[in-house]
Amino acid sequence: MALNTWSDTIVIAELNDEPMFSEDMDNLLQRLRTLRDAQDEVPDVIVDLQNVATVNSSNLAALLTARELLEKAEPRHRLIICSVSDGIWTALLATGLDRIFTFSENVTTALATLQLDL
């Protein structure tokens, strides 16, 4: 995964299929926890799933954990998931997570959403 720092307030996480998905999400979660614990500014996060075909329950749990960390940060930050395939969208619909997360068509649109909401 590439954790791309787009700006001081936005990070883009480009994820891949398993087994890298779990490792990459662990790295992202560790980074968010480290920033939070150091009382540094926690960024908004865009999760790009363009290279991910399917997700499992552990992947979904990691995404929920990231969302929770961002929402509990002071000030509150956002997680936007983009480039969702039909297979992943089916899993999100089946679990009801389509109502929990914020989605965007692609990274460019997600960036615009975050920057317009500032």
pLDDT value at 1 more than 80: no
Cα distance between residue 13 and residue 17, in whole Å:
13
Fold for domain 2-117? Transcription Regulator spoIIAA (3.30.750)
Place of tokens 């998905």: 21
Span 69-85, mean pLDDT? Answer: 92
Cα distance between residue 81 and residue 36, in whole Å:
21
Span 86-99, mean pLDDT? Answer: 94
| Strand pairing report for 44-51 and 79-82 | parallel
Cα distance between residue 68 and residue 105, in whole Å:
22
* Per-residue pLDDT tens over the stretch 16-54: 998 899 999 999 999 999 988 888 888 999 999 999 999
CB atoms within 10 A of CB 35: 16
